[in-house]
Amino acid sequence: MDLDATESGSAQSLQSGKDQLLPIKGCATPNYQRRMGLIFEMRQCAFVMCDEEFSVSNERKIFCSDRCRGRHHALINGEEAEMIRIENNMIIANYRILKAQRVGRVFRRTELRLLGYDLEYCSRYTINRAAGDTVTLWCYDLGLKVSETGYQLVSA
Ligand SMILES: [Zn+2]
């Protein structure tokens, strides 16, 4: 997303701060995994456009996901078309997730993540100055209106 200097501050700040790790029933917690020696360290993803940290279970792993590995190689190999294709697919994947949800529903950040939604990807964003600078992150005609209570699904 290419934001101009004045707007990027607000959009970026929405995405700063790490989510709390959710205790998911049936899943080993990070602490348990660490005790069991399943987590060796936390590492920053090597893809320059990703700020994810991931737990390293394999010393040679440097990307948080296959997706980031693909994006990294596309970028360094100058495969612009491939890079664009991957980025577009991320927006389309986000759109499909929104499309399956009820308009008006409010999501927490962690809920979106569990659905596979990636907040870094949208087709555009709007800032409603009249409504206290409310930001909406759009995937085409569906958007997530950001507020303190969460992300509300809205339709254009
Ligand atoms: Zn990554």
Whole-number Å distance, alpha carbon 156 to ligand 1 midpoint, is 31
**Domain end: 48, 64, 80, which one?**
64
Whole-number Å distance, alpha carbon 53 to ligand 1 midpoint, is 8
* Residue-wise pLDDT tens digits, 56-83: 777 788 999 888 898 888 888 888 788 7
Q: Is 150 helix (H, G, I), strand (E, B) or coil?
A: strand
**Domain end: 64, 80, 101, which one?**
64
Q: Is the entire prediction scored with pTM above 0.85? A: no
Distance (Å, whole) CA 31 – CA 19: 16
Can you give the pLDDT at residue 27?
Answer: 54
* Residue-wise pLDDT tens digits, 117-151: 999 899 999 999 999 999 999 999 999 999 999 99
* Residue-wise pLDDT tens digits, 29-48: 656 655 566 556 788 999 98
Token pair 């607000």 is at which residue? 10
Would 41 be classed as within a structural domain? yes
Q: Which residues surround ligand 1, an ion (CB under 5 A)?
A: 45, 47, 50, 52, 64, 68
Whole-number Å distance, alpha carbon 128 to ligand 1 midpoint, is 31
**Domain end: 28, 44, 64, which one?**
64
